[in-house]
Structure 1
Amino acid sequence: MNNIAYICPITKVKLDYHAISNKINLDDSGFYYADKSPYVYPVINQTPIFFVFPTKITQSFFVRNSELIQKIKKGGICPDKSPEKGEASVQTTFTEQWTNLGDDELSFTYTHDDLIYLHKSVWLHDDPTITKKINVLNIGCGFGLEAMVLSDIFSNATIYAIDLNLSVVKAGKNLIEKSGSKVIPIAASLFHLPFGEDTFCHIHCQGVAHHTYSTQDAYKAISRHVNPKLGSIFFWVYAWEDSMGMPGFRGALIRMYWFLSHRLLRPILSRAPSSVRAFTIFTMAVPYHFLVSKRRGRLRDKWKFKNTMHGLRDMFTPQYAHQHRWNEVIGWLQESGFEMQVQKKHDFEKKFSQRMLGIGLFGKRVA
């Protein structure tokens, strides 16, 4: 259940909600507006869309419901600001990546039970304050699988699941129903969140911020929404040491992969037409699927071709995929006043029999 007031991400005023009863489109749920702000934000498939820039989906909503919008909010307009650097490309490529996967039971190589262990034990250290949290912000939820995991872990909290990509809108109503209204899907940019500062008991940002124009700016944008007294944050990004710092022949192969993906394929595919991306990824997936599906262990029988396509899109199509050093990211959290615990590398590798990657930090503010 939603227990937080939304604010306009542009004017910062509190928003009111108007439900649509006589629907032209069955997915049109309503819209948010404010007397002291000109901007109107659609709710489609029970998912509020708080983009500060126009998109096809929001503009179509305004066309369908212009008469009602003007009746309720005279002079109401679709948000008309510009996206942050690279956001339009990131939105397009991630929407393709998640929409083509669909509401799948796997998240890359993990089952739901795996994800419970990974999040609760490896990343959050079985923290005893988890059950005391009443609200959690999940940054980068995709179709909502991670949000569902967080709703099981934070058993007394409402999970606000946001994503820039539009698959969250497609997932909306189904995600709310599956979670018993414990998960609230929202389409928004992490740079322009529809919440006041100091709002959340916990913010969970895993594998997302490094896909923005600046990982550090993304961290600053979300961390200011953590409650200053007893709030916490989990932050995970790509680690420089996992590729550029790896010694020997294996390190050379990994650096070759990063060169091919970051210097060649990623810049080309992120800017290419959708049809070109789809053809390229499909062509790569045909031989790659045979190899990768044999290496999924206990998930081998569940791994599908669309999972391979999803993984390849993640590897090669987002415009940004920054890498960072441990001390760099630790410094960001220290400057924000967090006491930190690092991810449990030994526990992860014992459980999953694979090398742990990335920089995962669990930061807590202590009274």
Structure 2
Amino acid sequence: MTTAAPPGLDLERLRAHLDAALPAPTAGPLAARRFEGGRSNLTYLVEDAASRWVLRRPPLGHVLATAHDMAREYRVLGALAPTAVPVPEPVLLVEDETVIGAPFYLMEYVEGVAHRDAKTLAALGEQRVHGLGVRLVDTLVALHALDPEAVGLAGFGRPDGFLERQLRRWGKQLEASRSREVPGVDELHRRLADTLPDSPAPALVHGDYRLDNVLVGPDDRITAVLDWEMSTVGDPLTDLGLLVMYTELARRFDGVLPGAALAPGFPDTAELVRRYAESSGRDVSGLGWYVGFASFKLAVVLEGIHFRYTRGGTLGAGFDRVGELVPLFVEFGRTSVEG
């Protein structure tokens, strides 16, 4: 850790604000480092001599109008903290952009590993890897079983017309990030609109649910589900479709995406889907549409990141290849929708 401020943080202004806003003043100067691996909101470990926190803020540069809502993330963490879905405890929301240059929130630091590659995960052994894959699905089922109103999230989303509205929203996001022609992306959008399914009963959805968005403790428990920036109340099968998309694309395009699902023992797509269907009681026969929608959505996210990269608004390595991934998502989405 270093007391030098990493890009996107002003540690002196942050400390002054925390001294005024927290129950007790900070214990000496702050140190911070940015967590690697994220491609959207920026996440930092912040600590003083006595405490550790995690800080989340929007990315630098090009920010889409409806994305990167810190208050929304903070609210869902507060609602889920008392439930069976493990999340970090929220500490402080700051919407005053003069503190560090953007809204941000602080949450507790949770011990755990975010598994992003097959080699690290495979070291656990096949039995433990399989158990983790099962718990990943079970945690998603637990999330979808919650009553949003009962946990304090009344009005958090508008489930009526959810899929149609989501398609429209992501189409607008694509337009806001266009800097080049992406073959097939508009065709995929039209195909999704033409084959819109009827949604099951609404639930709280994560919006980006996958293995590397959870922390795993030394006892193989999932200690926290992270990155709630896309969460809402809507169609729960959108989460399952995205989990399947990541699992399938990791296997089909090894080295392109986080490849932890390639570790021996990790459940295949059929087992993941069967486990979810049996535990949740939901009909998953139309899942191909949801996998296609997940592919379109992530293609738009990546195109937005590529847009920021071309304008110097990204931090860290690996952004130069993000643009190459977009056509892969588009093509996989098209084949998924077509069955």
Q: Give TM-score scaled by structure 1 length.
A: 0.24
| Structure with larger Rg | 1
TM-score by length of 2: 0.26
Higher strand share: 1
